Structure 1
Amino acid sequence: MLPKESRLTTGDDFRRASRQGRRAGSATLVLHLWVGEPGRGPARVGFVVSKAVGNAVVRNRVRRRLRNLIREHLAVLPVSGVLVIRALPASAEADFASLGADLEHCLRRLVA
């Protein structure tokens, strides 16, 4: 589970990151990173897993895997950054290792 201060909860922040942020994609994920005003707090992360990924069981499994993977990378994200991770339908069949590799690849492209 992500710490409470690292969770993205408002729809406005989801929209802002998706529309104004930088984007990096892979076969299973699309990441949107928007860096806000300094001093707004730690980086926050939100997840979008649509019904196209699968039924509720599959969507929740993908979301749990992504939450577990992103915890290791919270320190890499810029302060006051907003990261939205959108799972693509291919993420339903991806194993934990390939999701982790795709996440790291996209984060390197966004943060670098």
Structure 2
Amino acid sequence: MEKKNRLTKREYFDKVYRHGKSAANHQFVLYYKAQPQQASFRLGVSVSKKLGNAVVRNRIRRLLKEIVRLNAARIPGGYDLIIIARKPAAEMSYHEMEKSVLHVFKRASLLLRKENTPGSN
């Protein structure tokens, strides 16, 4: 993830939690808040200690960031996003996780179709 696409400070997380909307499935919760002054989206990832030790949590975090990075062209700009992993995410493979994350984005109406993405012909 590029630095400009990271949600870093606690106050940013709090604003999204307090004033944003959410969408969820069994594995993930997506909080999102429109930020029209931003050109691109910013992403924060939260993985609880309940999901496992540091190795497990960091693996989930890395996979989530990679999924979002590879699908960034399908995610509209101007949003602050927070993905929270739930317990079932710890046992998921990469492809299952990708399908589930894209499903949550679709539920939140934050996923552009492939033919609408810039650069795809």
TM-score > 0.5 by shorter chain: yes
Unaligned runs of 5+ in 1: none
1:7 counterpart letter in structure 2: R
Give 1:16's aligned residue. 15
From 44, 47, 69, the counterpart of 1:49: 47
Q: Relative contact order (C-alpha < 8 Å, sep 6+): which is higher?
A: 1
C-alpha distance in structure 2 between counterparts of 1:19 and 1:11, whole Å: 12
* Count of aligned positions: 110
User: How much does 1:73 deviate?
Assistant: 2.5
Aligned identity (percent) is 34
The residue aligned with 1:91 is 89
Shift of 1:75: 2.8
User: Which whole-Å deviations, capped at 9, do the CAs of 1:60-108 have from their partners, x for residues lacking one?
Assistant: 0101110110112323333321000001111111111111111001101
Q: What amino acid maps onto 1:92 in structure 2? A: A
| Alignment-derived partner of residue 60 in structure 2 | 62
Whole-angstrom distance in 2 between the partners of 1:5 and 1:67: 14
Alignment correspondent of 2:116: none
Residue aligning to 2:118: none
* One-letter identity of the residue aligned with 2:49: K
Name the SS of the counterpart of 1:75 in structure 2: helix
CA distance in 2, matches of 1:91, 1:4: 25
RMSD: 1.4
Q: Offset of 1:109 from its aligned partner? A: 1.5
Query: 5+ residue gaps in structure 2?
Result: 112-121
C-alpha separation in 1, matches of 2:74 and 2:17: 20
Q: Distance in 2 between matches of 1:13 and 1:75?
A: 23
TM-score, normalization: structure 2?
0.84
Give the alignment's TM-score, normalised by structure 1. Answer: 0.90
